Amino acid sequence: MNKWKKKPHTTPKPYKRPALSGGGFGGRSGFFLARAVTNIRQNIFVNVVTIGTITLALLIVSLFLLVFINLESAVENWSERVQVTVYFDKEPTVQEQSSLREKISALPEVSHVGYVSRDEALKRFKKRLRGQETLLDGVRPETLPASIEIALKQTYRDTMSVENFVISLKRIPAITEVQYGEEWVRRFNSFITFARLLAALLGGFLVIAVVFIVSNTIKLTIYSRREELEVMSLVGATRFFIRAPFLLEGLIQGIAGAVLSLILMFVLFELFLQNAGSFLTFNPADSGLSFLPIEYICGLLIAGAALGFIGSLTSLKRFINV
């Protein structure tokens, strides 16, 4: 006979039921964390797939953000060219100059005022025609007008504000001729508006796609373990007890995905900086391209954590109904 049948007669001493370990999340957080880590180890394949999906998804988002941020800073540089110039037929006296500068500076839109004398104007002209200075041999400073160049604050660089500014500028006596490249400002601003709209639209679609893909991946991983959810429920686990390890697992997956995507993004960015010089007309290392600022990095980490956590939460709601 097998030895099993004899066992009941040598019954071990009845076991005294021990006291429960701490209740609530505080008392069991260690257990939940251990459970989550064990789950990840035991379901390594689905976890690798999930983390990989989150990594790729966030990589796309961070790439988008990186391009967006660098374009924004480029746009900021370009918009500095939105400049209003006041021309004078006669060169104003030093007193006139300072009183005009004062009046112009008092306008709220102005960020910087610079006076360009006739000599200065000729110098600039020559600089522009470098190599063919001889063309300007007969030109004397008096043939060029003196001017005041006005740079505008960033918020006043759109078409409407520039036009309004010019109107208020013309109210100052002694200012007659004002130029600001209307056509260029208008085109530039409508391009910026269009580009921002396009970026918002693309970004929106991207976020929707990412949320959809990640939540479906998580749903599949939880679906593959629905038996475990059922068994836990049948042996008397509370909803919270069933969910907590899965939520922690989602959180870990999300953060791991975000960290991996940022590392990958950084490596790609550095590689681009080092190698793009050979196929681009400018050297990106000197062009002021920057990596994501720290707020965006934190934002992506939080987004990853939230994706994992909320994805798990909504999927669990579907499968725990016992």
Q: Which residues bind another protein (CB under 8 A)?
A: 2-5, 7-8, 11-12, 14-15, 17-18, 20-23, 27-28, 31, 35, 42-43, 227-228, 230-239, 241, 322
* Smallest gap from residue 316 Cβ to another protein (A): 14
Cα–Cα dist 103/107, whole Å: 7
* Smallest gap from residue 236 Cβ to another protein (A): 4
Q: 101, 87, 82, 100: which is closest to 156 by C-alpha?
A: 82
Phi-psi region of 131 (alpha: psi -120 to 50; beta: other; left: phi over 0): left
Which CB sits closer to another protein, 27 or 288?
27
Cα–Cα dist 51/253, whole Å: 5
Which CB sits closer to another protein, 23 or 108?
23
Which CB sits closer to another protein, 43 or 97?
43
Which CB sits closer to another protein, 40 or 61?
40
Contact 112, 158 (CB under 8 A): no
Computed from CA positions of residues 39, 42, 47, 48, in that sequence, does the dihedral angle turn out positive or negative? positive
Which CB sits closer to another protein, 3 or 128?
3
* Smallest gap from residue 243 Cβ to another protein (A): 12
* Smallest gap from residue 52 Cβ to another protein (A): 21
* Smallest gap from residue 74 Cβ to another protein (A): 53
* Phi, psi angle pair for 117, to nearest 5°: -75, 175
Q: 172, 130, 129: which is closest to 150 by C-alpha?
A: 172
Q: 59, 35, 39: which is closest to 47 by C-alpha?
A: 39
